[in-house]
Structure 1
Amino acid sequence: MKKYAYNEITLMQFICILSGVQLSVGLLALPQRLAQRAGTDGWIGLLLIWVFTVIANLIIVRVMSSYPQGTMMDLLTHYCGRWVGKVAAVLLALYFFSYGYVGITRTILYVKQWLLPQTSTFQIMLLLLIPTYTVARNGLRIVGRYAELVFFISLWIPFAYLLPLQDAQWLYLLPVLKEGWLPILSAAEIAFLSFSGIGITMVLYPFLLHKRQAFAGVAISNTVSMLVFLMISLICFVYFSPSEIKEYNEPVVNVLKNIEFKFIERIEVVFISFYLFMFSLSWIPTFHASAFCVSWMLGKPDHRNPLRVLWLILAAGTLIFVPSFTQNDMMGRWLSKIAFGIEYAIPVCLLIYLWTKKE
């Protein structure tokens, strides 16, 4: 009997969760950061980090296939012992919590800047945590259905970005490789955080209904993320001049300001309001994964009690401290370094270890 059969998810839900974790709050500032490092050649850095991420995610799936009915903690317990599994559970719980915290605090900052400037951060946090608990408490299958719903109701967003192309200046992209490869590699480093989050595959894999589809799932999800990042970045690069784009903190929002409809005055406000659904995929799956890791470590089948504790910590912590944009950026940079170790270095080491173990 499958250990995690009750909360099995489909391939579509698997893809939506992975892409949703990546396509979240990091998108709004991505074009500016790419331009600061490599000018309009920054889009090439996206392609480089996409290849790197797909390979890393395929390695994670290959490692997980060695113990298909268990999570990463189960795999490490099976091959390395109980205490190694518990240490992994603690590290993954902290990592997923940190990832979700960076995402939810960034969302609060965006809401205060664009939508509710007079509302306290504590009230906004509560407004975000209530639906978070409602979705995450019911298990991964419900999280997967929510991610699937967000994906389908967000399909209109890319088409909205085709409207500014009537004022595009495609010559801004030329010449290609203006300053060589070094700035592009630097831009790829900036894009790394946007492509992070693939570590959640370590928790999602045993819940996937058909494990053989995991390789296709991670390739499709990362490709979808790359295409969205590439499309939005290129539109910003050809709409703003190379010097102008560096002046906007969220060029993805600013590019919409000149779009006008008779029935709506400020489409960027509607965009931010609607994009909150996509933002939520940066913390709902990761908070669920964090609570799941804690419940696994404690040997409890129910993840709701750890989720309630996490909920209270976030709500109470908001009364004490909420990071600014600068502090949130700093937390994101540290998170990207941790992500490199957890999502890239450790799976490679595990793959080598499993190969030597089998020999």
Structure 2
Amino acid sequence: MKKYALNEITSTQYICLNSGIQISVFFLSMPRKLAEKAGTDGWIALIIGWAVTVAASLIVIQVMKRYPEGTLFDLLTRYVGKWTGKAAAIFFALYLFYYAYTGLVQAVLLTKAWLLPQTSAFIVMLLLLIPTYVIARNGLRVLGRYAEIVFMISWWIPFVYLLLLRDVNWLNMFPILKEGWMPVFSAVPTTFFSYIGFATTFILYPFLKNKKKASSAIMISNTLTMFGYVFITVICFVYYSPDEIQKYNEPMVSILESIEFKFVERIGVLFIAFFLLIFSLAWIPAIYMGVFCTSWLLGQQDHRNHLRLLWLFTAVGTFFFIPTFNQSDRMNDFLIRVGFGIEYVFPGCLLIYLWMHDRFQWRKNL
């Protein structure tokens, strides 16, 4: 019997989860950050980052094929030893909790800035944590269905942004590679924050119903993420001038002020409220998989007690302290560095180790 059969997810749910984890609040400010690094050639950096991410994602899949019925921690326990598996579980739990916390902090700051400026950060955090607990407590299958629903009700968003094309200047994009390749390459590390989250495959893989489609599923999810980022980046680049876009913190929201509907005022506020639903796909799965790690560490099947403790700790901590926008940016910079090591470097090193281990065992048995 499969160890994780109770919470199996479909390939579609996996695609939605993986792509949803990658699309965080950073999505709103990304065009500005790319413009600061590479001007209107920043979209090329997104494609390069996507290619690197696809390669790293496929390496993760190849690693998990060595032990398809277990998570990364089960695999490490089998190949290296139980203490290595436990250390990895602790490290991944801390990483996922930090990833989720940065997403929550950004969501709180965004909500206060655009929607509820007079409401305390503690109350806003509670408003986000309550549905987070309700969804995460029910396990991965419910989380997968939630991701599917969010994706299905979000397909209308790109069509609204297409309305802006009547007022754009395509000459902003030309000439391509105005200053050569160096600015583009300097912007590539910035794009890694747009794609981190695929390492959750180390935990999600044994839950997949059809593991044969894992490679194609992760490529599809990364490609969907890339298309979303490139689409909104190009829209912002052709609407704003190269210098003007750098004046807006969240150009993806500011650009909506030029769209007018007779039946609604301040459409940007409406979009921010809806974006929070999409961005919840970043912190809710991260929180669930974080408490999954701690539950695995203690050999427990029920993750809900760990989830309650984390919920309480986050809520109480927010009552006493909430990072500012500048502190949040520094947290994101640190997350990029840690995430690059965990999601891009570690899988390759692990695959080399497993290959050498299997080859040594094969020669030893000759």
- TM-score higher than 0.5 here? yes
Residue 314 of structure 1 deviates from its aligned partner by: 0.4
Aligned residues: 359
Say yes or no: does 1:21 pair with 2:21: yes
SS in 1 for 2:96: helix
Residue 319 of structure 1 corresponds to: 319
Residue 196 of structure 1 deviates from its aligned partner by: 0.7
Q: How far apart, CA to CA, are the structure 2 residues paired with 1:26 and 1:148?
A: 21
Q: How does 1:261-340 map to 2 (within 5 A)?
A: 261-340=261-340
Residue 345 of structure 1 corresponds to: 345
SS in 2 for 1:29: helix
Q: How does 1:1-359 map to 2 (within 5 A)?
A: 1-359=1-359
Residue 24 of structure 1 deviates from its aligned partner by: 2.0
Q: Which amino acid aligns with 1:53?
A: T
Q: How far apart, CA to CA, are the structure 1 residues paired with 2:353 and 2:165?
A: 50
Q: How far apart, CA to CA, are the structure 2 residues paired with 1:70 and 1:322?
A: 37
Unaligned runs of at least 5 residues, structure 2: 360-366
Q: How far apart, CA to CA, are the structure 1 residues paired with 2:65 and 2:321?
A: 41
Q: How far apart, CA to CA, are the structure 1 residues paired with 2:7 and 2:158?
A: 31
Q: How far apart, CA to CA, are the structure 2 residues paired with 1:343 and 1:303?
A: 24
Q: Which amino acid aligns with 2:93?
A: A
Q: How far apart, CA to CA, are the structure 2 residues paired with 1:187 and 1:165?
A: 26
Moved more, 337-346 or 63-72: 337-346
Q: How far apart, CA to CA, are the structure 1 residues paired with 2:92 and 2:270?
A: 35
Residue 340 of structure 1 deviates from its aligned partner by: 1.1
- Give the superposed CA RMSD: 0.6
Q: How far apart, CA to CA, are the structure 1 residues paired with 2:196 and 2:36?
A: 20
Q: How far apart, CA to CA, are the structure 2 residues paired with 1:110 and 1:205?
A: 33
Q: Summarize deviations over 1:303-348 as a string: whole Å, max 9, x none.
A: 1111111101100110121111111111111011111111111111
Residue 364 of structure 2 corresponds to: none
Normalised by the size of structure 1, how large is the TM-score? 0.99
Residue 188 of structure 1 deviates from its aligned partner by: 1.2
Q: How far apart, CA to CA, are the structure 1 residues paired with 2:323 and 2:160?
A: 31
Q: Which amino acid aligns with 1:169?
A: N
Q: Summarize deviations over 1:1-40 as a string: whole Å, max 9, x none.
A: 1000000000010000010011121110000000000000
Q: Percent identity?
A: 56
Q: How far apart, CA to CA, are the structure 2 residues paired with 1:31 and 1:221?
A: 21
Q: How far apart, CA to CA, are the structure 2 residues paired with 1:105 and 1:159?
A: 29
SS in 2 for 1:255: helix
Q: How far apart, CA to CA, are the structure 2 residues paired with 1:166 and 1:187?
A: 29
Q: How far apart, CA to CA, are the structure 1 residues paired with 2:80 and 2:12?
A: 33
Q: Which amino acid aligns with 1:301?
A: Q
Q: Which amino acid aligns with 2:6?
A: Y
Q: How far apart, CA to CA, are the structure 2 residues paired with 1:204 and 1:328?
A: 28
Residue 279 of structure 1 deviates from its aligned partner by: 1.1
Residue 302 of structure 1 deviates from its aligned partner by: 0.7
Q: How far apart, CA to CA, are the structure 2 residues paired with 1:124 and 1:258?
A: 28
Residue 182 of structure 1 deviates from its aligned partner by: 1.1
Normalised by the size of structure 2, how large is the TM-score? 0.97
Q: Summarize deviations over 1:47-83 as a string: whole Å, max 9, x none.
A: 0000000000000011011000001011100101100
Q: How far apart, CA to CA, are the structure 2 residues paired with 1:9 and 1:231?
A: 29
Unaligned runs of at least 5 residues, structure 1: none
Q: How far apart, CA to CA, are the structure 2 residues paired with 1:290 and 1:78?
A: 21
Residue 265 of structure 1 deviates from its aligned partner by: 1.5
Q: How far apart, CA to CA, are the structure 1 residues paired with 2:328 and 2:268?
A: 22
Q: Summarize deviations over 1:99-158 as a string: whole Å, max 9, x none.
A: 000001000000000000011111111111110010000100011000111001111111
